Structure 1
Amino acid sequence: MPRQRSSPSNASKDEIPRSEDPQLAQNVQDRLAHWVTSAPEDYDLANLYDKALPLPVLLLHLYRDLLRFYERHLGMSQSRVMLLHELMHTGEINQTELAQRLGMETALMTRFAKQMEASGLLSRRVDPRDNRFTLMTLTSAGQQVFQEMMVFSRKFEVQLVEGLSSDEQGNMRQALIHIQEKFSHLKDLE
């Protein structure tokens, strides 16, 4: 029997607020119910909301804050920053392949590439081996912007870790690398 829709003001701590899409809400609720029933015995679900945020949620909040900070200070979206970073490390690359590497739709990649080409950050040319493809590479101006972004990132990092010992900084870096590696190997959490 489906649960009655409840408003956030009278929802209990263990009830998930419903979205406007009942099927989506049910799918989310079913998946979360699986996790609740398979939680370790010592996991106190009753006080879940009274505890510190779970690490994945904390990382999502940090990621969101970092994106906003970078966009505000660099004047460039995360997607464009990733595009510059990838081009800096790969050199000339097929535009479609770059879109796949970044998990981006090809139409969006084309739009970004045209805008960044107009800004003088990258150049594009038809692949001489196959004129169906477009090759992209950073211009010297794009390389300069990337270098400036790296300097900015290093200065920002110094401010973020101020007050942590070098051992604590190293441990934090190793922990984040470990989490990233574990995450890349997860296929499905069921």
Structure 2
Amino acid sequence: MHSFNEDGELLPEEIDTINRLTKIPIHSLNLDAILIATNIYRIAQGLRNKMEREVLSQYGLSWTAFSMLYDLWIWESIETKKLAQSAGVSKATISNITKTLEQKELCFRKSDIRDKRMTYVVLTDKGKQVMEELYPQFHKGEIEIVSGLSVEEQKSMETLLRRLIRENDF
């Protein structure tokens, strides 16, 4: 019923979680669901911290600013509402980060000609250049994160995570 490491043991954090939660009178406690969600969160936070510390800090970028630049690099121009959804933040946060990125001359805003209520964020040539320099370093970190898994394990995890994303509309 519990998640174990490769030696068949729970991780210390999982033991602490189980010890705390099994004392709570919850009738249908699903420890596997708790451990999966907790470990996904820990991996996401660890990835974010590693990349901010080892790669993004060199460019003066936060995780969210990088996420925005990445989306702009892929799509070149994107409406602020869609950008906020993609980054998982509010339009106000997108607005604040866009101001910072505009000061660095990495992007600019433009209004839709037909509908002035819609604003797009557009990647500049300098923004494209930064992403072309930055992304290989970022990708190296991605590879390091999963290097302890076999190719088969990586494919399996990729499939399962994609399924969770689809089923939960993330």
Q: Are 1:101 and 2:82 counterparts? A: no
Structure 1 residues 171 and 109: alpha-carbon distance in aligned structure 2, compared to 1, 3 A threshold: same
Aligned-pair CA distance for 1:134 = 1.6
Map of 2:9 onto structure 1: none
Equivalent positions of 1:80-159 (< 5 A) are: 80-159=65-144
TM-score when scaled to structure 1? 0.64
Shift of residue 185 of structure 1? 3.3
SS at match of 2:89: coil
Which residue matches 1:177? Answer: 158
Task: State the SS of the aligned residue for 1:152.
Answer: helix
Deviation at 1:113, TM superposition (A): 0.7
Q: Is residue 14 of structure 1 aligned with residue 22 of structure 2?
A: yes
For structure 1, the residue ranges without an aligned partner over 5 or more in a row are 1-7, 17-28, 40-44
- When the two chains are superposed, the root-mean-square deviation of aligned CA atoms in Å is 3.0
The amino acid of 2:49's aligned partner reads R
Distance change in 2, residues 1:150/1:173 (3 Å): farther
- Residues 26-45 of structure 1: pairs in structure 2 closer than 5 A: 33-36=26-29
| Alpha-carbon distance, 1:68 to partner | 0.9
How far did 1:183 drift?
0.9
Partner of 1:68: 49
TM-score by length of 2: 0.71
Tell me the equivalent position of 2:35.
Answer: 54
Judge conservation of contact 2:51–2:141 (CA < 8 Å) in 1. no
Question: 2:27, 2:167 → 1: CA distance?
Answer: 17
Instruction: Please list the CA deviations of residues 33-74 of structure 1 after superposition, one character each: whole Å capped at 9, or x if unmatched.
Output: 2542xx5xxxxx7xx9xxxx9343223222211111111121
Percentage identity across paired residues of the two chains: 25
3-state SS, counterpart of residue 93 of structure 1: strand
Structure 2, unmatched stretches of 5+, are 1-15
Name which of structure 1's ranges 154-163 and 114-123 shifts more when overlaid on structure 2: 154-163
Larger helix fraction of residues: 2
**Residues in 2 aligned to 1:103 and 1:129: alpha-carbon distance in whole angstroms:** 27
Number of equivalences: 147
More RCO (CA 8 Å, sep 6+): 2
- 1:56/1:151 CA distance change after superposition, 3 Å: same
For residue 151 of structure 1, report the CA deviation from its aligned partner: 0.7
Tell which structure's C-alpha radius of gyration is larger. Answer: 1
